[in-house]
A and B are shown apart, each in its own frame.
Chain A
Amino acid sequence: MPTKPSNMKTYEEEVKTFSWDIAKKELEYKDGDVINIGWYCSDRICKKGNADKLALIWENAKCEEKRYTFNDIRLISNTIANYLKNLGVKDGERVCLFMDKIPELYIGFLGVLKLGAIAQPLFSAFGSESLLTRLEDATTTAIMTQKKHLPKVRNILDKMPYLKYIIVVDDDGSKPLREREYALNIEKEKMIEDFEIFPTKAESRSVLHYTSGTTGKPKGAQHVHYSLISQYISSKYVLDLKDDDVYWCTADPGWVTGTSYGIIGPWSNGVTQVVTEIGFTADNWYRFAEKQKVSVWYSAPTAIRSLMKEGTAVAKKYDLSALRHLASVGEPLNAEAVIWSQEAFGMMFHDTFWQTETGSIMVSNYPGMKIKPGSMGKPFPGINATVVDLRTFLPIEKRGIVGMIAIEPGWPSMIRTYWNNEETYKSKFKNGWYLCGDRGSIDEDGYFWFVGRDDDVINTAGHLVGPFEIESALLEHPAVAESAVVGKPDPVNMEVVKAFIALKPGNDPNKMLELEIMNFVRKKLSALAMPQEIEFVDSLPKTRSGKIMRRLLRAKEWGEEIGDTSTLENDM
C-alpha cells in the first residue's frame, strides 16, 4: 500500500507559510468565539460525522478491553459535567483528577472542562503529602478518585476544609462512604444527551498542571482553552496524526504530555487512541502495540532505553507492521536509542522537546525531515526559539555555543501564570524571551542540541522532581538530621534521585535504615521522589552562610569540575 504523505509539507516550506490561523481555520474557530476543549474533543467530532468512530480503546492490567466511541465520550463527559454541576461545583473552581489511567480520567477531564471548571490532573502514585501540597495551593473544590486512592485523601482531609466533594468513580457500595464523599458510576448514571457547555473563551482557564522547581513548593502552571490551537496543530504536524491512525501515547495524564497529547491532541483531531493500564515490560508493550495495531506511538526515552536493553530480538517476535511513526518526549533521546529504533522497528524515534509551561511541542524532529540522532530537532513552525547568553540573555549568534534555550512568548499554549505565584512566572522572562531552564546549542544546520538543566531540578524518566520537596520530606524522618538531594546519572532514566543524609546522633547507617527512609519518602511523596540511592555522610558541604551546596554533590556524581568553592564552609 503506498504510504500517505505527511501532514506537514517540507519543514522549510512550512516554516515559510505557517500561521496559527491554519489551526484556527481547520477548527472553524474565529477570534472571540467560544472555545471549549471539552466540546472540541467530543461534540465537534460527532458533529463532523464521526460519532460512531472509536475514540478510546482501553485495556486494564488483565488485558480486558473497553471501547468508547466519540459519541460515548460526548455523552459521558456531559454526564460527568452535569454530575459535578449538580453537586455544586462551579466554573473556575479546581477539580482534581486523581486516578490511574482509567477511562474516567480521560473522559472526566473533558467533563470538567465542559463545566468551565479547571482540570487539575495529579499523578495517582503521589502520596498524601504530595497531594496535599498541590491541593492546598490550588484550594481545590473537588477531587475525582478511585477507592484505592481514597485513604490518601482521607489522611489529609482535616487539613483541607476547601475540598467539598470527593467523588469516587468505582464505589461498589461494599464500604460506606464518609462525609464529603460521593459515588459516581458512569456505567449506571443516566447519560445526559444535552449539557449546556460553559462558554469559555480563549483566555478562560482550563488546565492546572503542577511542576517542580529547585526551591519552594511545586508550582501550578495555568493553561487556557486557547492552548487547543497549538495542541491540535502540533499533533497533526509532529505526531502526523491522520484519520485512520491508532495512536498510543504512553504518558500518564497526571503529567502534561498525558493531557496535551494523551487527550487533547488526538481527540481534537478525531483520532482513535489506545491506553493500557498494564505495567511496563517489553513483552507487555509489544503485545499491546501488536494487538491494537498501533500506527503512531509517542513514548519516552526511559521506556525506549528499557526496550533497547531487552534487545531487538524481542521486538521482532511481534507483528508491529502497523507502526508508521514514532516520537519521544520527556528527556533528551540519546543517539544510540534513535539508531536502535531503526534496527528494531525499521524507523527512527523522533525526539520532541517541550515543557509543562509551554503546553505543546516547541522543538522537534518532523516526519520527512532528516534526523540527526541525539538532536532535539528544529523549532515548530510559528515558534521562534533560540539559545541566549546566560548573563546578557541576548541570542547567541555563533553556532555551537551553549546557552539557555529560550522561546519568544506568544504561542497559543503558553502558560499564562503560575497559580498564586505571578512573581516566579515573571522571573521566567528575560529580555523578551521565555527561558526554559535548559541549556543547549544550535548547530550550523539549525538543529538544537540539549546539554542539561540549568538548575537543580532532577529529570527522572521524563518527570521533573524538585530536590527541595524531597529534602523537606526527609527531614521529617526521625533519624535524619540534614539531607541534600541531587540527580545522579542513570543509563535508563537519565537521572535518578540520590540523597546524601547526615543522621542524628544515636543512629547508625545501615541497609535497614536506608530501606526505611526510601519507603518513608515513597509513601509521603511518590515512588518517583524516592531516593534510588542513599549515601550516609557525616556532614554536608555548606556555604559559610549555612546553605547546602547541592551543586558540589551533583558535580561529584556527574564527574564534573566542582567549580568555585570559595564560599565553602567545610571540605567535602
Chain B
Amino acid sequence: MAAALASTHATPETPGQEFWRALRENRGAMLGLITVVLITLVALLAPWLAPYHPHLTDNTVFLSPPAWQHGGSTAHLLGTDAIGRDILSRLMHGARLSLVIGLAVVAISIVLGIALGLLAGYVRGVFEIAVMRTMDVILTLPSLLLAIVIVAILGPGLVNAMLAVAVVCLPHYVRITRAAVIAESGKDYVMAARLSGAGSLRLMLVEILPNCAAPLIVQASLGISTAILDAAALGFLGLGAQPPTPEWGTMLADAREFVVRAWWVVTFPGLAILLTVLAFNLLGDGLRDALDPKLKR
C-alpha cells in the first residue's frame, strides 16, 4: 500500500524499469544472474585466469588430488586428471565451450523456430500443417534419442552435437511463435497496419514479432540450460566434443573409469555443469515471472 501511495507522485515506471524491479526483487533470479555473469567472466578470461593450458600434460602429477586433501598441492587446486592435466584450467576453458554451446544452440533454434513459426502462423494452410506435424514428430521422439541418431549420422563432434540439439529444441520455439502470431494477427493494431498498406514481411517482422518477444525470451533463457545439459550428455556418451577438448561432458566420459580411485576427476566437471544449468534455470524462472505477471503467484 505504501508503495502504491509513493508511486502516485513519482514518474510512472517504464516497462524496462518495471521489469528490472520485478527481477531484482526475485532473490533466486538475482542469484542466477550473478552466477551467469561470473561464469561468463571466467569463460571470457579463461586464457588469463587458468593457471595452465587445458591440454598441457604433466607426467609427474597423474591423478593428483585437490589441494586441501592429503597428497594434493596448491600447484593444482582441483587436482589433475589421469594424464596430469590441471582440472581447474580445463574447467575454466570448458566454461567457454558450454556457453558457446548454449548460445549457439539457442541462436540456431530461435532463428529457425521464429521463421517457421511466423510463416506457419501467418501463411496457415498446408504449410502450417506440414510444419506443425513435423514438430509433433520431433516432440514425440525422446529428445536425446533423436539427437543421438542425428549425431550418429552426421558423425560425432561438437558442431554436429550442437546442430542435433538445436533440431531437438526447435519445436518449442516454433510452437510459441506460431501461437503468439495467431493470437496477435487478429488484433486491431495489425489490422490497422495492414489497412495502412504494410506488406506481409513488414507485418510479420515489425508489427507482430516484437509482441511475441516475452515468451520467446523466457524459452531462450531456459533453452540455454537444456542445450548445455543435452550437449554434455552427448559428450558423455562420446558423441559430442571429442577428447582432448575440455568440454565438461566429455571430461566426465574420460573420468568414468577413475570413479573408484579419484573422486575429483568425476566430481568437479559435473558440478560445473550443475551450477551452470541451475543458474540459467533460476534466471529463466525469474525472467518468466518478471515478463509474464499472469503466471506469477
Q: Do A and B come from one complex?
A: no
Q: Which residues of B contact A (CB under 8 A)?
A: none
Q: Which residues of A contact B (CB under 8 A)?
A: none
